[in-house]
């Protein structure tokens, strides 16, 4: 039997890796993939809680989060295509016409 904190610590680790990816990476695509990792870290936490509370509400939550992630990814990738056409690059550091 695996104790619950194991799962939660893994989820925290994945969340931290995802956050690191968004902050450190310069490639927009990798930034997006890191956001997917963060969402999945939250999914893992929800599934863990759901299992240990012995209720299935969390599964529905994760199901819907996946749909939302798909929607976000679709819009995000379309936006990446647009900006690539516009600028010819997906280097996040190049998008500094306005200062951050």
Partner 1 sequence: MTDQNWSILIPEIFLFIWALFIFGLDLGIKRKNPKILGYSAMAGLTITGILLAIFNGGILFKGMFQSDQLAIFFKVIFIGSAFMAVGSSFDIASEKIRHHRGEYYGLILFSTVGMMFLSSASELITLYIGMELTTIPLYVLAAFYKDDKLSVEAGLKYLIVGAFSSAILLYGLSLLYGLTGTTDIVTMKINLSLVFLSYGKIGPGLILAMIMVIAGIGFKLALVPFHMWAPDVYQGAPTPITAFLSVGSKAAGVVAFARIFVNGLIAFASDVMKPLDWGIIVAILAAAAMILGNITALRQRNIKRMLAYSSIAQIGYVMVGMVAASELGIASVGYYMFIYLFANMGAFTIATIFNDKTGSDGIISYSGLSKTSPIFAAYMSIFLLSLAGIPPLGGFAAKYLVFAAGIQAGYTWLVIVALLTSVVSLYYYANIIKTMYFSAEEPTIKIHPSFPANLVLLISVIGIILFGIFPGPILDWALESAKIFAF
Partner 2 sequence: MELAIFYISAIVAAGGALMMILQRNPVASVLYLILSLVALAVLFVQLSALFVGSLLIIVYAGAILVLFLFVIMLLNLRGEKFTSEKPILDKGTKITLVVLFFMELVILIKQMAFPQRMDSLMTQASPDFGGVEPVATLLYTKYLYPFELTSILLLVAIVGAVIMAKRDKNEEEGER
Site for partner 1 in 37-66 (CB under 8 A): 38-39, 41-43, 45-46, 48-49, 53, 55, 57-58, 60-61, 64-65
Residue 10 as a binder of partner 1 (CB under 8 A): the answer is: no
Question: Alpha-carbon torsion 68, 69, 70, 74, what sign?
Answer: positive
Tokens (6 digits) for 12: 């925290």
Q: Indicate the SS3 state at residue 88.
A: coil
Is-contact 91 27, C-beta < 8 A? yes
Nearer to partner 2, 2 or 98 (CB): 2
Distance separating alpha carbons of residues 17 and 92, to the nearest angstrom: 19
Which residues are near partner 1 by CB under 8 A?
15, 18-19, 22, 28, 31-32, 35, 38-39, 41-43, 45-46, 48-49, 53, 55, 57-58, 60-61, 64-65, 68, 71-72, 75-76, 79-80, 82-83, 86-87, 92, 95, 97-100
């Amino acid at each position: 039997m695996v104790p619950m904190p194991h799962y939660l610590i893994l989820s925290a680790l994945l969340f931290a890796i995802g956050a690191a990816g968004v902050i450190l990476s310069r490639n927009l695509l990798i930034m997006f993939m890191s956001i997917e990792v963060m969402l999945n870290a939250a999914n893992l936490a929800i599934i863990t809680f759901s299992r240990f509370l012995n209720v299935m509400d969390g599964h529905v939550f994760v199901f819907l989060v996946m749909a939302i992630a798909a929607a976000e990814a679709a819009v995000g990738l379309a936006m990446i295509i647009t900006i690539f056409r516009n600028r010819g690059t997906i280097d996040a550091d190049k998008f500094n016409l306005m200062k951050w």
